[in-house]
Amino acid sequence: MQLFKTHAKSKGFKLVALFGPEHGLDGDVYAEQELQSKVDPDGIPIHSLYGKTRKPTDEMLKGVDILVYDIQDIGSRSYTYSTTLFYAMEEAAKKNIPVWVLDRPNPLGGLIIDGPMLEEKWRSFVGYINVPYCHGMTIGELAQFFNQEYQIGCQLTVIPMKGWRRDMIFQDTGLPWIPTSPCIPEANTTFYYPTTGIIGELQLVSIGIGYTLPFKLIGAPWINGTTLAKKLNEQDFPGVHFEPFKYRPYYGKFAKQDCQGVLILITNPAKYKPVSTQYLILGILKTLYKTHFQQALAKAQNRQDIFNKVNGTDEVFKILQQEQYSTWKLLSLHQKEREQFEKKRIKYLIPDYAF
């Protein structure tokens, strides 16, 4: 943003408006807090796209000749920054306003394809396009996919990165990580968000939000950490190790209660499957703590809608409810569809990123 302001006059363009996504222009606002539009210190209006409206209005787009998107995404479908871009592309297309996407790295790299696809009836702000939960695409590639597959007709230009390859995670870039939101303080947290975030929607266990390790923990007062870690490690899942852990959340789920559980340690990002690991955890929790699990599912009826929207399907909830042993069915869900997607996405991948 500061670069735009710095170069505006010398490069002959005028910055007429700024648009803020869910966590605000500076990424410092907690999730699900509605934001008000305001004016920045230089007198430039900041239009909130996470308040009364989530799409830029005609009034907001007045005087805009080009809409530029320059926001770091985290590579998971339910993180709302990508949907904010898609909404903006739809509105810009209606007014023939070109959209430029300044591409940025997918922090998970460009190779991880994991998790369920998005079924049309569960399309929402936390999942707007039919891609796997972890799709292995940059935000620019997603924009190209959306524009073509959904026939948006946006005048889209993607400015590619220099020096990034599909086999690079964010830590390989040498770039500093600027927190995209309060609970994504480090680059490696982007791997943990798709590992526990869906579980968190059920309010079954603590996932470390409210403690110093957001998304990196699974814990509850009724869990035996040693037992859970042993059972999870016995599954020999690729790229991950589970360590028994005790903690006391400061706020959030089980605030100020003594919890046991596991600290999730990603040992090999190249082999790691975040969503598959998450479904493994769900399956093992159900096996070890059936009574607590079923009670939590019963209490989670009011959370079922958002859980299904984040998953992109209601099949996950049904499997957890109906199947005695749910892990395999969860892991195999949408496997054929993912394989089809992997072929479909090829034409939208930017050639410069090949390795």
pLDDT at 324 (0 to 100) = 79
Cβ contact 103:159 at 8 Å: yes
Average pLDDT, the chain: 95
Q: Look up residue 189 and give its amino acid.
A: T
pLDDT digits (tens, 9 = 90+) for 255-311: 999 999 999 999 999 999 999 999 999 999 999 999 999 888 888 888 999 999 999
The number of angstroms, rounded, from the C-alpha of 219 to the middle of its chain's C-alpha atoms is: 22
Instruction: State the DSSP string of 98-147.
Output: -EEEE----TT-S---BSPPPPGGG-BTTB-SSS-SB----HHHHHHHHH
Under-70 pLDDT residues of the chain: 1-11
Cβ contact 108:191 at 8 Å: yes
Retrieve residue 99's tokens. Answer: 């959209």
pLDDT at 159 (0 to 100) = 99
pLDDT digits (tens, 9 = 90+) for 7-46: 666 667 889 999 999 998 888 888 878 888 889 888 999 9
| 187 burial type by CB count under 10 A (0-12 exposed, 13-18 middle, 19+ buried) | buried
Domain at 189-334, CATH class: alpha beta
Which of 165, 162, 169, 158 is closest to 109 using CA atoms?
Answer: 169
Cross-strand pairs, 67:
99
Coil, strand, or helix at residue 177? coil
CB-CB neighbours of 162 under 10 Å: 7
pLDDT at 5 (0 to 100) = 65
pLDDT at 10 (0 to 100) = 64
pLDDT at 124 (0 to 100) = 98
Retrieve residue 198's tokens. Answer: 């869906």
pTM (2 d.p.): 0.95
Q: How far is 181 from 236, CA to CA, in rounded Å?
A: 32
Q: Kind of pairing, strands 38-39 and 45-48?
A: antiparallel
Coil, strand, or helix at residue 241? strand
CB-CB neighbours of 332 under 10 Å: 11
Retrieve residue 162's tokens. Answer: 């220099």
What is the CATH code for 2-181+340-353? 3.40.50.12170
CATH 3.90.1150.140 segments of the chain: 189-334
pLDDT at 12 (0 to 100) = 73
pLDDT at 8 (0 to 100) = 67
